Amino acid sequence: MKILKTLTRVYTNTLDETLRFYEDITGTHAGIRFAMPAIGLELAQVQNILIIAGTDESLRPFRSTSATFLVDSIEEYYRFLTGHGATVIRPPQQVPTGMNMTVRHPEGTVIEYVEYRKNT
């Protein structure tokens, strides 16, 4: 069980404009970009920055999430977290990058966990 990377979340209503800004200040291009039309979001990753774009309404359920942890095993983290006082807000599910879940830690911090799968 290992956290492989932590992504800082940036919320925006304008993905292209925000993405250009973060590409310019980091000197790199987005490694990942995809849409989740069922929930009205578009996402892009530039280095350790996860840009989440949508309308204020579509972003509302996600704004309380502080960060994204890329992990080696959603299943192991699910068992560990539920056994250590965390509350699962969104259970493990398939997403365009693999599997994810959203959890409220015992002190109140909300974190998205993602098990990235290259073959998705």
Its pTM surpasses 0.95:
no
- Report the candidate in 79, 109, 113, 81 with the shortest Cα–Cα distance to residue 97: 113
Kindly list the domain boundaries of the chain, sorted by start residue: 3-116
Q: Is 45 exposed, middle or buried (0-12, 13-18, 19+ CB in 10 A)?
A: buried
Superfamily of domain 3-116: 2,3-Dihydroxybiphenyl 1,2-Dioxygenase, domain 1 (3.10.180.10)
Tens of pLDDT, residue by residue over 61-83, are 999 999 999 999 999 999 999 99
**CB-CB contact of 26 with 65 (8 Å):** no
Query: Where are the extended beta strands (E) located within 13-109?
Result: 32-36, 41-46, 49-53, 65-71, 87-95, 98-104
Q: What integer pLDDT is reported at residue 96 of this predicted model?
A: 86
Tens of pLDDT, residue by residue over 3-56, are 999 999 999 999 999 999 999 999 999 989 999 999 999 999 999 999 999 999
